[in-house]
Amino acid sequence: MSSLATGPVLAERMDRVRAAMAAEGVDVVLLSVGPDLPYLTGYHAMPLERLTMLVLPRDGAATMVIPRLEAPRVTEHPDVFTLLPWDETDDPVSLVATLMGSARVAAIGDHTWARFLVDLLHEVPSTAFWRATEVVGPIRMCKDAAEIEALRKAGAAADRVAAALQRGEVPLVGRTEAQVSADLSQRLLDEGHEKVNFAIVAAGENAASPHHHPGGRVIRAGDLVLCDFGGTMDGYCSDITRCVSLGAPAMEVAEAYAVLQEAQAAAVAASVVGAACEEVDAAARDVISAAGFGPLFIHRTGHGIGMEEHEDPYIVQGNRQPLEAGHAFSIEPGIYQPGRWGLRLEDIVVASVTGPDPMNRADHALAVLDV
Query: Which residues are near Zn ion by CB under 5 A?
Result: 228, 239, 241, 330, 346
CB neighbours (10 Å) of residue 110? 16
Using alpha carbons only, what angle is made at residue 37 by residues 314 and 349, rounded to the nearest 5 degrees? 30
Residue 241 vs 352, nearer CB to Zn ion: 241
Residue 176 vs 209, nearer CB to Zn ion: 209
Q: How far is the CB of 346 from Zn ion (least distance, A)?
A: 5
Helix, strand, or coil here: 107? Answer: strand
Could you tell me if residue 296 is left (phi over 0), alpha (psi between -120 and 50 degrees) or otherwise beta? Answer: alpha
Q: For the residues of 224-254, what is the DSSP string, one character each?
A: EEEEEEEEEETTEE--EEEEEEESSPPHHHH
Residue 223 vs 228, nearer CB to Zn ion: 228
CB neighbours (10 Å) of residue 79? 11
Distance in angstroms (rounded) separating the CA atoms of residues 259 and 291: 7
Q: How far is the CB of 271 from Zn ion (least distance, A)?
A: 14
Q: How far is the CB of 213 from Zn ion (least distance, A)?
A: 12
Q: How far is the CB of 309 from Zn ion (least distance, A)?
A: 7
Q: How far is the CB of 39 from Zn ion (least distance, A)?
A: 21
Residue 123 vs 309, nearer CB to Zn ion: 309
Q: How far is the CB of 2 from Zn ion (least distance, A)?
A: 26
Residue 133 vs 360, nearer CB to Zn ion: 360
Q: How far is the CB of 362 from Zn ion (least distance, A)?
A: 13
Q: Each residue of 284-313: b (16+ CB within 10 Å) or e? A: bbebbbebebeebbeebbbbbbbbbbebbb
Q: How far is the CB of 151 from Zn ion (least distance, A)?
A: 13
Between the alpha carbon of residue 312 and those of residues 147, 168, 171, 240, 266, the distances in Å are 15, 35, 36, 18, 21
Residue 62 vs 226, nearer CB to Zn ion: 226
Residue from 11, 3, 4 nearest 62 by CA: 11
Distance in angstroms (rounded) separating the CA atoms of residues 199 and 293: 26
Between the alpha carbon of residue 152 and those of residues 47, 232, 328, 344, 365, the distances in Å are 28, 12, 11, 21, 21
Strand 28-31: give its sheet, edge to edge: 81-86, 62-67, 53-57, 28-31, 105-108, 128-131
Residue 130 vs 198, nearer CB to Zn ion: 198
Q: Burial of 181 by CB count in 10 Å (0-12 exposed, 13-18 middle, 19+ buried)? A: buried
Q: How far is the CB of 319 from Zn ion (least distance, A)?
A: 16
Residue 53 vs 267, nearer CB to Zn ion: 267
Residue 200 CA to its chain's centroid (Å) = 16
DSSP 70: T
Residue 183 vs 346, nearer CB to Zn ion: 346
Amino acid (one-letter) located at 90: D
